[in-house]
Each structure stands twice: as C-alpha cells, then as structure tokens.
Amino acid sequence: MNPQDPFLDEDKALACVHCGLCLGSCPTYLETGNENDSPRGRIYLMRSIQNGRLSLNGGSSPVTHLDRCLGCRACETACPSGVAYGQLLESTRDHVEHHATRSLYQRFLRRWVIDTLFPVPWRFRLATWPAMLIKRMGLESYLPARFRDALELLPDTPSHASLPALAPCPVQPSRGKVGLISGCVMPVLYGKTHLATIRMIHRLGFDVVIPPDQRCCGALHAHGGQLAKARNLARHNLQVFEDQDCDHIVVNAAGCGSTLKEYEHLLAEEPGLQQQARAFAGKVRDYSEWIMEAGCDWLERLEAHRRDGWTPPAPLDGPTTFHDACHLAHAQKITEWPRRWVRAVAGDQYVPLPEADICCGSAGSYNLTEPELALSLQQRKVRHIQGTKASLVVTTNPGCILQIRAGLLKQGFKEIEVMHLADYLDQALESLAVECQALPAHQNQ
C-alpha cells in the first residue's frame, strides 16, 4: 500500500466508536457470529489495509470478510454516530478490486458478467435466452451447482416491454413531466412493472419521459469496486436528464434509487458537477415516495374503501406482508410509505414480517459472488415469510423479488406470490376503477 495514495477517509472511519449497536442489524454477523463479518470489524479491517498492517493477498487476507458484506447499510440505520459505512465500503472495494488477486472464476464473474453484461439491457436480454431455454428443457441438473443456483433466480416468464421515449398523459393538460429510470434488470425481466409504473404516473396526471439514451445508474459498479465506471455513468445520466427538464425523476428499483440520490457524493471530486448532481438528486424519487407526494389523497380513498368492505381482486385478497428492500429502508430511510400503501389495500389482511429489514441475500450481485451466505439469508427470509402465513409478499426491488421467489420455490412454497409494489397498486386501482369508478383515471389538481 502506498501511504501517499490513501483510499479511505480516515475521519469517516474514526467516527465508528465500536459500540456494537450495529451487530444485531448486520445480516452477515447474524449468520456467522464472526466479528470480522460485522460493520465495526470491517471498518477495523479497512483501516488496517490502509495503514499497511494487513495485506490484500496471502493467508490472512481480509478480502473474504469485505466480500461477504452485503452493502445493505442496515448498520447505518442502527449507528448512533452516523458512520457513513456505505461510502467507506465503496472506496475500500475500489482499492481491493485494483490491488487484490482473485480467482479466474471471480474475475470472469465480476469483470464480464457483473460489470459488462448486467448493466446493458440488450446484452442481459441476449444472455437470458439460452438460460431460459435450458430451464424450459429441464437441463439444469447437468450444470455445475453455481450455475444451477443462478438459473433458479430467473423468473419462468420474464416480461420484456418496449418503452416509448415519451408517454403523454391521456388527459391533457398534464400536471407536469416525470422522468422514469428504465434501469438494467427491470426492462428485461419486469417490463410489466414499468408499464404499471407508467399507468400510475398517468393516473396522477403526469406525462412520462423515458430517455432512450440513459444508461445504468452505476450502482453495480459503485458497490462492486469500479468507481471510475460508476462516475462515467453518472456524468452521462446527469446530462441526459438535464436535457429533459423533468419535474421529478421516478425509479422503481430501490438499489438504483439510492445510487442516483448520491450522485453528488459519487462525483465529489468534480467540483464543476456538484451543483448539477445536487439538482438531479433533488428530483429523484422512489416510486413509493413519489406517489405519496403526488397522490396522498388516493391513499386515503383506498383506506376508506377497505374500511367500507371493498375486497381487492386475487391474488391481492389474501394475507399480505411486506419486505423492506435494503437500499430503500437503510440507504434512503423510506420504510413507512410503502407499508401504508400495502396496508391501505390489504386492510386487516396485512401481516407484519419479522426481520422485514434484514437483507434477503440478493444485494445486487451478491447471490452470485457469495452464494453460500446468500442462500443462508434466503432461507432465513423464507422461514419468516412462512411464519406469517402470508399468501403474498410485496417489495420494491427486482433483486429482492428474484431472490425471495427463488427461495420460496426451492422450499416448496409455490402458492406464495411475490410482487412489486407498482404491480400491486396497479391491480388494486384497476379493480376499483372498473368496479365502482371510485378513483378516476386522472385528477388535474
């Protein structure tokens, strides 16, 4: 390690007083009980790497414990000192990826699959074709275990949707213009969720802009130790959306949303972009956040209809629970708003989920790079879901949907549905509009 080239902000690292209040919120520590797999333990490892006490390579390498971190940032929620753990982790992983020696498989996985394939929708879509063919032909058993586990994550029927550059509100004049982040996984596997999101924005009276030249938000790169690539993507997206002059920018993937809201930090070393990044981040809203701001009266109407005896259509009409996406609950600090929407529809059928904000093991690409711990966390989540007796799980992130659904199927719970909040509300509102016209398709207020 070159002491003239420190990678870690020592002041931010020293903010950790090692009180241990983060231990109970850390998923990996809960699973392993190893102090090196805890937030305070990892911060100690980070500082030891920086000051040269630990080497990245060799028998006592700390890389294993840093790799095991999900980056869920639950420790930030629990920390009384306000330690910016996510920022410390990203800068450390960037150093690790440029200095540590990895196996050939891990290099292939991180450099080609995660950094090159996943962030580009057309490449990702192309890669899903042979994978889906193998699934449909029942050939998974002939593959190595690590590839079988990856295939299990794919939905049986991915929904691709071609999105227009502009989707004007059917009723004009509109209330404004909302940009939509298309993302990487969403348009390939959950195109219907994008369409449901667009319909909700239309119901609230706004035009929708989906710039075709937007790129990956940079979350996979920032979380995986490729900060230079993440910054390049951030610079590009700033310009793309500045040209659109949107009132707000809505994102329906929690992991993307947290990165987009932190562009100012990501581009901190570029003073000329700080004002632009700050303005951009100020417009970004998670789906659950934006619909609460733009349509809180609809929430009240849903609650009133539920109290009056309205029953949502299947599969929304059974016991329902909610799982917190880590980067919505911990990075964006949004927990109550999505729950209020779910409770408004489910009514007395809503069932709280124990450890709802403990990571399910998806964590972007974690279930590929750390499959054993990801499996343990997946099983832990499924046990809690089973304990609620819920027939439906609602969440706000595509990775969570893939991970939880795969875990439920693996353990034989085929009857339990997993649904994005946007699809959940779209079905509920469509039912109300068709049955009683209680919620008009547009309110120009």
* Percent of the chain surpassing pLDDT 90: 71
Convert the pLDDT of each residue in 77-88 to its tens digit: 999 999 999 999
> What CATH number was assigned to the domain covering residues 295-435?
3.40.50
CA dihedral (21, 24, 27, 31) in degrees, to 10, reads 130
Q: Residue 87: what are its φ and ψ, rounded to 5°?
A: -70, -40
Confidence of residue 433 (pLDDT cuts 50, 70, 90): low
One fold for 10-99 and 295-435 = no
Q: Does position 343 have pLDDT exceeding 90, yes or no?
A: yes
The pLDDT of residue 438 is 35
Q: Are 72 and 326 in contact (CB under 8 A)?
A: yes
Q: Does position 441 have pLDDT exceeding 50, yes or no?
A: no
CA atoms within 13 A on the CB side of 150: 20
The pLDDT of residue 149 is 78
Convert the pLDDT of each residue in 245-282 to its tens digit: 999 999 999 999 999 999 999 999 888 899 999 999 99
The predicted model gives 145-172 an average pLDDT of 84
The predicted model gives 325-341 an average pLDDT of 96
The predicted model gives 53-69 an average pLDDT of 89
Round the average pLDDT of the chain to a whole number and report it: 90
Alpha-carbon distance 246 to 208, whole Å?
9
At CA 192, angle to CA 343 and CA 404, rounded to 5? 60
Convert the pLDDT of each residue in 354-377 to its tens digit: 999 999 999 888 988 999 999 999
Q: Does position 439 have pLDDT exceeding 60, yes or no?
A: no
Q: Are 71 and 86 in contact (CB under 8 A)?
A: yes
Among 70, 69, 74, 86, smallest CA distance to 12 is for: 86
Q: Are 343 and 313 in contact (CB under 8 A)?
A: no
> Which stretch of 110-114, 205-209, 373-377 has the lowest confidence by average pLDDT?
110-114
Alpha-carbon distance 160 to 103, whole Å?
34
Alpha-carbon distance 295 to 311, whole Å?
21
The pLDDT of residue 265 is 94
Task: Give me the count of residues in the chain.
Answer: 445
Distance set, CA 333 to CA 86, 119, 275, 421 (Å): 14, 25, 23, 17
Write down the domain spans for the chain: 10-99, 295-435
Q: Cis (ω within 30 of 0) for the bond into 173?
A: yes
Q: Are 89 and 71 in contact (CB under 8 A)?
A: yes
The predicted model gives 291-312 an average pLDDT of 87
Q: Does position 332 have pLDDT exceeding 90, yes or no?
A: yes
Confidence of residue 353 (pLDDT cuts 50, 70, 90): very high
The pLDDT of residue 300 is 86
Distance set, CA 399 to CA 247, 292, 321, 381 (Å): 28, 23, 17, 14
The predicted model gives 285-295 an average pLDDT of 93
**Domain 10-99: homologous superfamily in CATH:** Alpha-helical ferredoxin (1.10.1060.10)
Confidence of residue 434 (pLDDT cuts 50, 70, 90): very low
CA atoms within 13 A on the CB side of 24: 5
The pLDDT of residue 354 is 97
The pLDDT of residue 5 is 66
Alpha-carbon distance 288 to 103, whole Å?
40
Distance set, CA 91 to CA 123, 224, 260 (Å): 28, 10, 17
Among 210, 171, 168, smallest CA distance to 191 is for: 210
Pairing of strands 248-251, 284-286: parallel
Q: Does position 4 have pLDDT exceeding 60, yes or no?
A: no
In this structure, what DSSP letter does residue 441 have?
S
> Which stretch of 1-15, 26-40, 178-192 has the lowest confidence by average pLDDT?
1-15
The count of other CB atoms within 10 Å of the CB of residue 19 is 12
